[in-house]
Amino acid sequence: MAILIVGGAGYIGSHNVRALWDAGRDVIVVDNLSTGHAQSLRDGVKLHMVDIRDEKSLDAVFGKEKIDAVLHFAALSLVGQSMIQPLDYMDNNVTGMIKLLTVMQKHGVDKIVFSSTAAVYGDAETIPIPETATLNPTNPYGESKLAMERIMRWASEAYGMRYAVLRYFNVAGAWEGGIIGEDHRPESHLVPIILQVALGKRPEIKIFGDDYPTKDGTCVRDYLHVMDLVDAHLLALEHLENGGDSFICNLGNGMGFTVQEMINAAREVTGHPIPAVSAARRSGDPAKLVASSQEAQRILGWHPQNDIRQIIESAWTWHKKHPNGYLD
Ligand code: UFG
């Protein structure tokens, strides 16, 4: 039986595809390639170029393949973009989830691991944020993921599906040796942008807001290595395959770093001065997001292994080898 990876050609999906393939699992990918890269997939992995909102085509994939469980990564995921295209985010993310669950139910597929986000919390009152914190997204991206979580919960109650909701904090880093990595077009994430400055592809990094109520005025985030995230997915899948109950958990390192601290760490790793300038706040950005990952430790026995330096070093290896991302 195969594992279907929806959005498997994207940054996080592709790292999971490779890890599952290397673990000897039968892996099938569905991706519309709107933001993903077919080159990120290992030879032998079967790719169906399908948009999950296209229920007929998705149904055909489920009809053709023997699917046991789904890992769902397909979503629009940029906070800033979601503020100006809210309806696109709702349509792509929420409609996509409804169609996916409809087809899963029709074909009797009852296990799903879902990529949710810290953005469901909005400006949290408690740091580190527990899963029980108030859910109050400050942007349409977070709102769409919260709606997806809730739709999945009701589908699970009605149809007996079991789910793992993994609320990621800020994911960065790359596969060992820089074989695959992060390549968004246009790039908007902090770590790749900092490293593009170090590569000479951008003159400077703009710091979005230096007047937040944090230790140096810049936003605090909890950065997690993509390979630690992959480990959590493998454990979550195993949990559901072993008959475990549905659950929701945060995934982060539990430590916050400011934008300024990330730039400083990248200066140390790359040896490049990485010029930085202050700019206006980016709308939709909460000041601080740091995870409590105690639930992931309790349910999955998951412990992240990599720190900020290892995250930046692995991303740096990828960017040096592929200065133009998957175009190289
Ligand atoms: N930032 C800058 N300059 C840049 C890019 C980013 O100062 O050029 C700042 C942002 O304002 C933010 C921090 O760096 O304070 C991190 O920004 P990212 O765009 O890298 O990440 P986000 O925190 O916006 O979002 C990411 C994922 C979301 C997820 C969220 C959860 O993209 O999917 O983490 O924390 F929901």
List 11, 89, 121, 141, catalytic entry = 141
| Ligand 1 nearest atom to the CA of residue 193, by list position | 8
Across the range 61-84, mean pLDDT stands at 96
| Ligand 1 nearest atom to the CA of residue 262, by list position | 14
Q: Residue 4: beta bridge partners?
A: 28, 70
Between 121-125, 177-181, 229-233, 305-309, the lowest mean confidence (pLDDT) is in 121-125
| Ligand 1 nearest atom to the CA of residue 194, by list position | 8
Pair of tokens at residue 118: 């810290």
User: By alpha-carbon position, which residue is closest to atom 34 of ligand 1?
Assistant: 170
So what's the pLDDT on residue 328? 76
| 141 is a catalytic site residue | yes
**Per-residue pLDDT tens for 277-287?**
999 999 878 89
Report how far ligand 1's centroid is from the alpha carbon of 21 (Å).
Answer: 30
The residue to mutate among 190, 274, 289, having the most atoms of ligand 1 within 8 angstroms of its beta carbon, is: 190
289 lines ligand 1 (CB under 6 A): yes
**Per-residue pLDDT tens for 300-320?**
999 999 999 999 999 999 999
79 lines ligand 1 (CB under 6 A): yes
Q: How far apart are CA 50 and CA 57, in angstroms?
A: 7
Nearest of 130, 35, 29 to residue 70 by alpha carbon: 29
The model's confidence at residue 149, banded by pLDDT at 50, 70 and 90, is: very high
Across the range 288-303, mean pLDDT stands at 96
